[in-house]
Structure 1
């Protein structure tokens, strides 16, 4: 993966979109996004889809004050940010519900609104469905739920590390082994072990000499990735691939999409993303205008207040002058009245 270079605005970090992940340090990006969820909350935000648009704009504004995109990736940047937020917000709200206590940054009114929504029959039914999906055993009965050793870092990040270690593009199986084996060398679950055994057998078969006594065939990275694709059963309905997650997008988009179809599909997706981005820009511009109008109103009010203060000071000065003049005149009058009458006859 060749890294693209870009000059970031002062104080900004440049992020590259790989698959549907941010690099570098996608896990730190995720932590930053989650922290912003705690700065402001939406009363309607029981899920990311229900978070009001103004709140999403607030979160995005915070994000682009710290991060920026590689040239040519603005649309992907926005789409990836939205994907991150949807997942992180879901996890954020799940742990809040699981804990069962109101966080300090959530008001009682908003917490009450969320609790009411979570108690509805429809919500409970969806929650049970999601729970069942999380507990699904993709490898079949008694194989356990899907597990890995990636930790908080995405598989894309582990792939980049592995590429640096190997000084070449790693195969899907190498990525799988890095993220599905424990420190002691054992696999995280029975499905991982079974997949490795089958993959080893398939590679051995594909490498056999084409003629008796000939040399074993050398398989390219694409050949090995094709075998992996077949062994794991292809992509799921959400375009992921067992053992690779979003890295499947990087590994198989070129292999599985004919040039014409890929270009047409990508063009439609890009147009949709551009429209969404344009709408966001318009909303941001409108928000900026409202903020500018508010700043102007405050400046006008401050100017009016200063003028009123000056007018009041001038009025007070005039009143003090009148009082001083009146006092002086009164003192003069009293002085004449208290003169000795005999002085006037002399």
Structure 2
């Protein structure tokens, strides 16, 4: 086995193409959606691969699927100064640029997954309970005891205000269409701030 990449982006293009072709044999889609499928495929693989590497490193011993030189090579690469700098930068970004102190909330969704909230799991199973903009409000704001709405970030409120203006100007357009245009549709295989739930809107 050759060197094990520390992230999906660093995997060999030929290997990723081979895996995608295996995936293609199990599913069909219109040719016009090829770029959408590839983007979503890469987004999912990025998360799966990141989780796999994380679990491998946390175990601190060779797993059955990664033995000998491959495992040692992975650990050696993660110990380099270049990787540590990149890792620290990523951790800082996840904390909103703060090394210490309380991090501002980015979502108010609780422990339920994005998809469960959209589908109303525990209510009407499998039924889409809200539109994309309603979901955004649900995840990025909360109402206090006095009925005042608080947003996670100022830019989230600004985005929703822009949606309300567009909706007022085009009242006959579906809410999801207005929202998708506003957030510029799919980026990296998903719609802004919808996570794994984007496919049901």
Settle same-fold status: TM greater than 0.5.
Answer: yes
Please, what TM-score do these two structures have when normalized by structure 2?
0.59
* Residue 10 of structure 2 corresponds to residue 47 of structure 1: no
Residue number in structure 2 paired with 1:218: none
CA distance in 2, matches of 1:127, 1:75: 29
Choose which of 104, 114, 121 in structure 1 pairs with 2:64: 104
Question: Where does structure 2 lack aligned partners over 5 or more consecutive residues?
Answer: 160-175, 189-201
Distance 1:167 1:63 in 2: 27
Distance 1:98 1:46, change over 3 A: same
**Structure 1 residues 77 and 135, CA gap change in structure 2 (3 angstroms):** same
Change (3 A) 1:65 1:231: same
Residues 1:65 and 2:25 are matched in the alignment: yes
| Structure 1 residues without counterparts, runs of 5 or longer | 1-40, 180-191, 204-226, 236-248, 270-346
Specify the alignment match of 1:244 in structure 2: none
Q: For the residues of structure 1 that align with 2:119 and 2:57, how far apart are their CA atoms? A: 35
SS in 1 for 2:144: helix
Q: Considering only CA atoms, is the larger Rg found in Structure 1 or Structure 2? A: 1
CA positional deviation for 1:252? 2.7
* Equivalent residue, structure 1, for 2:44: 84
- Equivalence for 2:91: 131
Aligned residue in 1 for 2:181: 254
CA shift, 1:125, in A, is 1.5
Distance in 1 between the 2:8 and 2:18 partners? Answer: 14
Query: C-alpha displacement at 1:48, in angstroms?
Result: 1.1
Give the match for residue 232 of structure 1: 156
Which of 175, 182, 201 in structure 1 is aligned with 2:148?
201
Cα deviation code 1:1-46 (max 9, x no counterpart) = xxxxxxxxxxxxxxxxxxxxxxxxxxxxxxxxxxxxxxxx752412
The one-character-per-residue Cα deviations of 1:216-272 (angstroms, maximum 9, x if unpaired) are xxxxxxxxxxx999673557xxxxxxxxxxxxx977332466xxxx8xxx9xx9xxx
TM-score, with normalisation over the residues of structure 1? 0.38
Aligned match of 1:120? 80
**Quick one: structure 1 residues 255 and 164, their matched pair in 2 at CA, closer, same or farther if it must change by over 3 Å?**
farther
Do the aligned partners of 1:137 and 1:143 also contact (CA within 8 Å) in 2? no
Deviations 1:169-201 (A, max 9, x none): 446455664x6xxxxxxxxxxxx7x74339943
Q: Distance in 2 between matches of 1:121 and 1:78?
A: 33
Greater RCO, 1 or 2 (C-alpha within 8 Å, sep 6+): 2
CA RMSD in angstroms comes to 4.4
Aligned mate of 1:159, from 83, 98, 118: 118
- Matches of residues 206-285 of structure 1 in structure 2 within 5 Å? 232-234=156-158, 252-255=179-182
